[in-house]
Chains A and B, each alone.
Chain A
Amino acid sequence: MTRLTTYAEAALAILVALIWIAPLLFAFWAAFHNVSDAINFNLTAPWTMENFATAWDGAPWLRYFLNTFLLVTIVLIGQFILCTLAGFAFAQIEIPYKDTLFLLVLLQLFILPEVLIVENYAMAARLGLLDSILGIGAPYMASAFGIFLMRQTFRSVPKELDEAARVEGCSTLGVLWRVFVPAARPTYLAYALVSVSTHWNNFLWPLIVTNSDTTRPLTVGLSIFAAPENGVNISVISAATVMTIAPLLILFLIFQRRFVQAFLRAGIK
């Protein structure tokens, strides 16, 4: 009896797993077949790359890829610099009202840039950041989450290391650069994975800030390309979708363990 339930449970778990990846499998299937074969599930139909060719010619994808790449890079560099400096200050330096300040920073975890679209748009306009990649990235650079993460990491660095470096005559920034940053390497890696996948996938704010192909990231480009008004068929949409998710998906499948650990490290507070 218990054996039976165990088997049934395992079967159910696998069934759910299959359902979970079914949308992806269907997209792959549709991307490599012409429309009528795709929607009729003609299993013997020949495979084709034509949808990819059509999709590729339908939008400046290379530019979108470049924009997304620039975007995630700029955001990551900005976050690393700002969060490292602030996290270090919160972890290691005595500052009056530090706890109050830190609580204020944590508030930003809940004042999401997504929710503040109206005023952030006004701010980006004032700063001349509209329709620029810097404008897409700017609201995310001083990430409360990143500051929190770096603070936690820097706090666990042994005091002796810090003191030893100081005795050797290192300045504050020297200590940060030579002692703390190297010690936090795993945290940086985890944070980078989470940040890159978040901003690779981000949509609403980039949609609002950009209005030309020279700045649009992949997600916005894809949404315009696949809009019903464009009348593109489902196989071509699937091809475009597969194309845009492929880099991140392949990265994920290769570094799966790292990804999961990164999300965990980033989430558990």
Chain B
Amino acid sequence: MAVSTTDQRHTERRRRTIHGWLLLSPALIMLTTFAFYPSIATLWASLWSRGTRRNPAEFVGAENYTRLFDDPTFREVAVNNLFYAGVTIPISIILALTMALWANSKIPARAFVRTAYFTPTVLPMIAAANLWLFFYTPGFGVLDQIGALFGAPSVNWLGQPETALWALCVVTIWKESGFYMIFYLAALQTIPEDLREAARIEGASRWTYLRRIVLPLLMPTTIFVLVNALINSVKLIDHLFILTKGGPSDSSKLILYYVWENAFAFFDTPAAAAMTVLMLIILGAGAALQFLVLDRRTHYR
């Protein structure tokens, strides 16, 4: 009798496990089809030469990578992307924090301010690019018209190498800051009011309170936002299609856009694959950063 109940429990458990696998399998199949297999296939493709009808693809090892690093366009594109990340990440984060502090303080029209900051988040990047076209167009663009009021000459913001990438950075910062703001806002609202009181009684200035108490408490949020901003600096390229197409003379081209060109315009799949692998490594580093910090955070609690 006792044997049969353990038997029963055993089959019951096995049944549950099988159910578990059945529940997981649709998602695992889709993830394999559109994430895991393509990642491995990309790595594999990056090690083979570009095949033509006459010459089948050959295994070339790291040659695609060396070819990539010898490609002056790729080097320029990589530097552009570093610049894009270096400008958009810190500025968006600082702006987001500032906006959150404002939206969390007792200022008039607070609801309006909060909505205004967040609104760009719900717009498609393509639409955002169209909106900004109206700002950047030389001659009748809003920026030129404002400049003209002060007697400044007309500037072709999107048409000259010195300003094109900056113009893209501005759009990205505008689009993303409000999104990051809400995470800071949520974190700020969890900071107990007594801390501020205590700091005031101790005679700490607002700045000291911010620097010594608020910022350290916001650290997990900052890491989260940082990783998100890093991801966006790799993947957010939609506005290039409208505003600059990477030009003039590649001065505003970013890696993912160059991947797209290589794959779907120049049909140089090995080069596209090698670049994709590099991007995956960067994103992997971001993942590692977040997992490490997430781990620490759980220890805190």
Contacts and interface: CB of A to CB of B under 8 A. Distances in A.
Interface of A: 9-10, 13-14, 16-18, 20-24, 26-27, 30, 39-41, 81-83, 85-86, 88-90, 93-96, 101, 104-105, 107-123, 127, 138-139, 141-142, 144, 147, 172, 197, 200-204, 207-208, 218-219, 222-223, 226-227, 234, 237-238, 240-241, 244-245, 248-249, 252-253, 256, 259-260, 263-264, 267-269
A123 B37 contact: yes
B34 A118 contact: no
A105 B32 CA distance: 10
A235 B260 CA distance: 30
Nearest to B95: A16
Interface in B147-206: 174, 178-179, 182-183, 186
B215 interface: no
Contacts of B112: 14, 17
B120 interface: yes
B246 to A, nearest CB: 14
A6 to B, nearest CB: 8
Interface in B1-57: 13, 16-17, 19-21, 23-24, 26-31, 33-39, 41-42, 45
Contact of A110 (B34, B124, B179, B284): B284
Contacts of A39: 140, 145
Nearest first, the 6 A-B pairs at minimum CB distance are A142-B30, A119-B38, A201-B124, A93-B20, A86-B27, A17-B116
B26 A82 contact: yes
B72 interface: no
Given A13-B102, A95-B20, A142-B34, A111 B280 contact: yes
A116 B256 CA distance: 10
A223 B241 contact: yes
A86 B134 contact: no
Nearest to A225: B130
Interface residues of B, number: 88
B134 A26 contact: yes
Interface stretch (B58-66, B83-91, B271-279): B271-279
Contacts of A107: 35-36, 287
B126 A219 contact: yes
B123 A245 contact: yes
B208 interface: no
A264 B183 contact: yes
B265 to A, nearest CB: 11
Interface of B: 13, 16-17, 19-21, 23-24, 26-31, 33-39, 41-42, 45, 99, 102-103, 105, 107-109, 112-113, 115-128, 130-135, 137, 140, 142, 145, 174, 178-179, 182-183, 186, 224, 228, 231, 234-235, 237-238, 241-242, 256, 259-260, 263-264, 269, 272-273, 276, 279-280, 283-284, 286-287, 294
A227 B125 CA distance: 15
Given A89-B23, A95-B24, A138 B39 contact: no
B231 A110 contact: yes
A23 B134 contact: yes
A127 B118 CA distance: 39
A17 B27 contact: no
Contacts of B283: 110-112, 115
Given A203-B238, A238-B130, A85 B24 contact: yes
Given A20-B116, A93-B17, 13 more contacts: A16-B117, A85-B26, A94-B16, A111-B39, A113-B35, A116-B35, A116-B38, A138-B33, A147-B27, A200-B124, A204-B256, A234-B137, A241-B127
A89 B20 contact: yes
Given A234-B134, A244-B124, A112 B235 contact: yes
